[in-house]
Amino acid sequence: MRLTFLVALIVGAGCSSRVPQPLGRPVLHPNLSDALARGFASLVGRAPFTTQLWLDDAAGFEARWDTDADGSIDASGVRPHKVRFERPGVYEPSVTLSAPGQPDLTLRQRVVVLGDAPVPSAPARYGVNEDLGWDPPRQIPAEIALMKDSGVAWVRLPVRWQWLEPQRGLYVWDRYEDAVDQARDAGLELLAVLGGTPLWSSGVDRRALPRGVDWDSFEPRDTRDFAAYVYRVVERFSGRIGAYELMNEPNSPVHWNPRPDVARFIELLCAGYLAAKYADPNAVIVAGGLNGNGLSLGWEAPESRDFLRAIYSGPGARCFDVMAIHPFAHPTEDGVAALQSWIDETKRFMTAQGDRRELWLTETGWSSGRSLWGHTTISEKQQAEWVRAIYLDIVGPQKIFWYNFKEDRANPTDPEGQWGWLRYDLTPKPAFRAFSDLRRLGVTDATRPPRS
């Protein structure tokens, strides 16, 4: 009898050991770690958007799913679940896990569903380029005060990848934090240009490059590196920076080495777009300002032509809120009529595609330096007249950003250093006064809305 009882205990213990026990810590996928490692396409997309949710380490749990984030249970079980979101919005589908003897555990995951309408930007039209991350910190308060006094509303500034993430996963924010806060506190709107590949991502040997080739102008080897950088920047500055331009002049051999590659640009543009929208769905995403008018003005190398056509012929057409171009017309050799015709060609092409999104000139202007790009030298007075003509006479673009607000070095002899309205020591050139006069004359964003 005693032996029978002992056997029963052993058998009973063996049976109880086969009851599934919760092991590990359940994880809901896809999540941010997955997106940073593999891309954001599983967490953000355009309505109607379908994705699949699944669990790791959930053995022994019962699962109750609220996949449409409406507060009600619509599925059960630890198997993967496909979910569909019909309307734009930010959703948090969840799963509640239960196990004997343990408190319930609810896991949630944020999903961003986009609509077809582009995100609107702040309405002001007048902008300038200024590299606030490069400028001496002691100058920045005075620069910002001069911008505000003159009537500038927007500032376009590079937020360079190679400075922010000098090593993979190591972010250094000091260079930009204070400058961004000062500009925002002054009421300026910000357009950040994202690009400048660090060496660890491009794999370039800096020592082997020919003189004059920028080492940060090479594409990243892995698209996910760029997407992660975009996500981190937009997340960090959400609410402080309103618009982001993904890369600068990808159709220029100066800014995209060893040669422009439109297919690769579109891949990076779309990956960055999804990353940015996941970080901040209200961020305005600008397609990296195309050199010239994005089509062909006759002087481009074959691989630099017709980037705009390629963007619109594939997925790139859905990866921006605003299109941007960089048309640089010579004030006397070309004049306003030529500049206007280049812009009109871009706008006609966009309209022919059924696209009513905004077109911005995120760089335009001319240097007062000697023989820029082999062209006739213009005087500082002629530069001032060109400022007045661009902001008064050019129609169509919703925003215009002069390149540059300030000269980037003291006593420059290189014409590339003499684009500014201010000299390096912040003394004004005639161009600054010309722009300031527009405000005094009553020419404001309110009185002169952009015409198309």
Q: What is the pLDDT along the chain (452 residues), one digit of tens a residue?
A: 443 433 333 334 444 445 455 456 999 999 999 999 999 999 999 999 999 999 999 999 999 999 988 889 999 999 999 999 999 999 999 999 999 989 999 999 999 999 999 999 999 999 999 999 999 999 999 999 999 999 999 999 999 999 999 999 999 999 999 999 999 999 999 999 999 999 999 999 999 999 989 999 999 999 999 999 999 999 999 999 999 999 999 999 999 999 999 999 999 999 999 999 999 999 999 998 999 999 988 888 888 889 999 999 999 999 999 999 999 999 999 999 999 999 999 999 999 999 999 999 999 999 999 999 999 999 999 999 999 999 999 999 999 999 999 998 887 788 999 999 999 999 999 999 999 999 777 665 544 545 55
CATH of domain 126-440: 3.20.20.80
Residues of CATH 3.20.20.80 domain(s) within the chain? 126-440
Report residue 77 as tokens: 């079980």
Note the Cα 229 to chain centre separation in Å.
Answer: 10
CATH 2.60.40.10 fits 19-114, yes or no: yes
